[in-house]
Structure 1
């Protein structure tokens, strides 16, 4: 394959990413996990002030404004309709389904149960990546993902073996499974639908596509929000989540998905429970038990092995 052909089809395989690019992609996903975890901690501070659906819509409105200023203002990219714009509605729909099913599931079941379902995401994504991109997951990578998943489940259930054995699949878990499968499909589709867009412009249109679907379900509730009762802390946290967390994770996930297999990209989601522990401790809410910390260490070791193994 010539250098030009190599450059023209970056979305098909990750073989063409250099060693340095792969290292930077792994570092990007470490930062991704930290930002996602911070959104849980900071988002929890304002979650009771506005119901989930309009809160998520407000978050994406802030993201659209941020990405627009950066892409078309600071980066001076030309503002025009992107090539094949319907792909952003497809990707946005997958993200919207993931978020909305998570909120619906949390009204029916517990965060612990939904967290356990979340651990299926990298494995499902590996199946989609094989079907869409032809990516094959090596046995060693699969084993390291299972080890990381076991550690994450131990953390999610707070080291309670009885709770793990008593896991019950109910309606809430099945609903969230649809969202997990949607997000698992989203990562390989990022590469498959890539048209070599500028990353900032891509993030802007992706936010537009996601916001469109969120508005369909949340706009009536958004009009009922008492904005006068919301304090400065709410708006400060909302701006932080909409800019640093949402806009930042768009860029990081897109960058890594072009350079790593989908299963490796989503494997970093297993760091979320561990990172939340660190954030909660930093915010003065105390550390968790030693048993749970050991589970976090198992997760970290599994991901380290995954990162070192060939793609």
Structure 2
């Protein structure tokens, strides 16, 4: 039984959207010359280690072999997503990856229908499409016309988006089987630990680990901030909401983060809103309202 109710889960995901939006500014403070795969591995590892004492005190550190296999699969999905993102950014722009990411909630809805079939799913498609279209308008504001993205980058990041789309529905599916009774804290700890291990392995294989010598004290402080607020807190809130809110709606809160970033540029940086951006913001709000109204998970899985 999930310890939070429907309203608490949505409020938690609202906080999730705020933390995700703020993480982009914090991540920009870290030395960009350091291998991004290594940085992400450190973020995940720091986040897992921050949870370790809590799990130890609660006596929930033990895990069965089947449970470890399940967490390894989920950790691998995280590693595939982050690894594909950094590989794609070597060949294309952040605008392209941001545009592709708008497909993740839609793909999550597809995986949800496969892994968690239910009669509520068709009700979410219209709202999902509206919110996705709005986010697309917000992201494409920085796109340069006439420039086609690298097919290699699109293919690589496309696989990563599939991995991220499968993460939430598969988490919910495994919670009903090998991870039954696993708390949000334990899910966050083990998934991040395995994700960190896979990313460390990728960094070793690519030679990116050598850039660790560039890490300064300020970089470590920002990494700890990101580990605590942008990684640990957000993944805990994610797993806290899964099972109370439909998984496709949970991941759709990324659209709200996109809207918050746009509002920041309008209100604090003094950028003049464009017509497409205003329309996109309206569509995101309307789509999210529709998703909230139709996002109650089935009582049997809550």
Which residue of structure 1 aligns with residue 14 of structure 2? 30
Q: Residues 96 and 286 of structure 1: is their aligned pair in 2 closer, same or farther, counting only changes over 3 Å? A: farther
Aligned positions of 1:55-134 closer than 5 A: 55-73=39-57, 76-82=58-64, 84=66, 85-134=68-117
Which residue of structure 2 aligns with residue 173 of structure 1? 154
Which residue of structure 2 aligns with residue 246 of structure 1? 231
Which residue of structure 2 aligns with residue 144 of structure 1? 127
Q: Residues 79 and 256 of structure 1: is their aligned pair in 2 closer, same or farther, counting only changes over 3 Å? A: closer
Q: What is the CA–CA distance in structure 2 between the aligned matches of 1:261 and 1:247, rounded to whole Å?
A: 21
Residue 224 of structure 1: which of 195, 210, 218 is its match?
210
Q: What is the CA–CA distance in structure 2 between the aligned matches of 1:276 and 1:254, rounded to whole Å?
A: 23
- Return 5+ residue gaps in structure 2 as ranges: 297-302
Check conservation: 1:137, 1:263, Cα contact below 8 A. no
- The Cα shift of 1:210 comes to 0.8
Once the two structures are overlaid, the 10-residue window that deviates more, 288-297 or 47-56, is 288-297
Which residue of structure 2 aligns with residue 13 of structure 1? none
Check conservation: 1:40, 1:276, Cα contact below 8 A. no
Which residue of structure 2 aligns with residue 45 of structure 1? 29
Once the two structures are overlaid, the 10-residue window that deviates more, 111-120 or 297-306, is 297-306
- The Cα shift of 1:248 comes to 0.8
Which residue of structure 1 aligns with residue 300 of structure 2? none
**Matched residue SS, 2:141:** coil
Q: What is the CA–CA distance in structure 1 between the aligned matches of 2:272 and 2:200, rounded to whole Å?
A: 38
Q: Residues 132 and 140 of structure 1: is their aligned pair in 2 closer, same or farther, counting only changes over 3 Å? A: closer
- Return 5+ residue gaps in structure 1 as ranges: 1-6, 11-16
Check conservation: 2:116, 2:173, Cα contact below 8 A. yes
Q: What is the CA–CA distance in structure 2 between the aligned matches of 1:50 and 1:106, rounded to whole Å?
A: 14
1:202-241: CA deviations, max 9, x gaps? 22111111112111111364642354x5443312210011
Q: What is the CA–CA distance in structure 1 between the aligned matches of 2:204 and 2:149, rounded to whole Å?
A: 34
1:137-174: CA deviations, max 9, x gaps? 544421111111111111101187x84x9765722112
Give the total of aligned pairs: 289
Q: CA RMSD in A?
A: 2.6
Q: What is the CA–CA distance in structure 1 between the aligned matches of 2:44 and 2:155, rounded to whole Å?
A: 26
**Matched residue SS, 2:89:** helix
- The Cα shift of 1:253 comes to 0.9
Does 2:287 correspond to 1:302? yes
- The Cα shift of 1:134 comes to 1.0
Does 2:136 correspond to 1:153? yes
Check conservation: 1:37, 1:272, Cα contact below 8 A. yes
Which residue of structure 1 aligns with residue 185 of structure 2? 200
- The Cα shift of 1:297 comes to 2.9
- The Cα shift of 1:183 comes to 0.7
Q: What is the CA–CA distance in structure 1 between the aligned matches of 2:33 and 2:187, rounded to whole Å?
A: 31
Check conservation: 2:128, 2:287, Cα contact below 8 A. yes
Q: What is the CA–CA distance in structure 1 between the aligned matches of 2:263 and 2:29, rounded to whole Å?
A: 16
Which residue of structure 2 aligns with residue 4 of structure 1? none
Once the two structures are overlaid, the 10-residue window that deviates more, 50-59 or 294-303, is 294-303
Relative to the length of structure 1, the TM-score reads: 0.83
- The Cα shift of 1:298 comes to 2.0
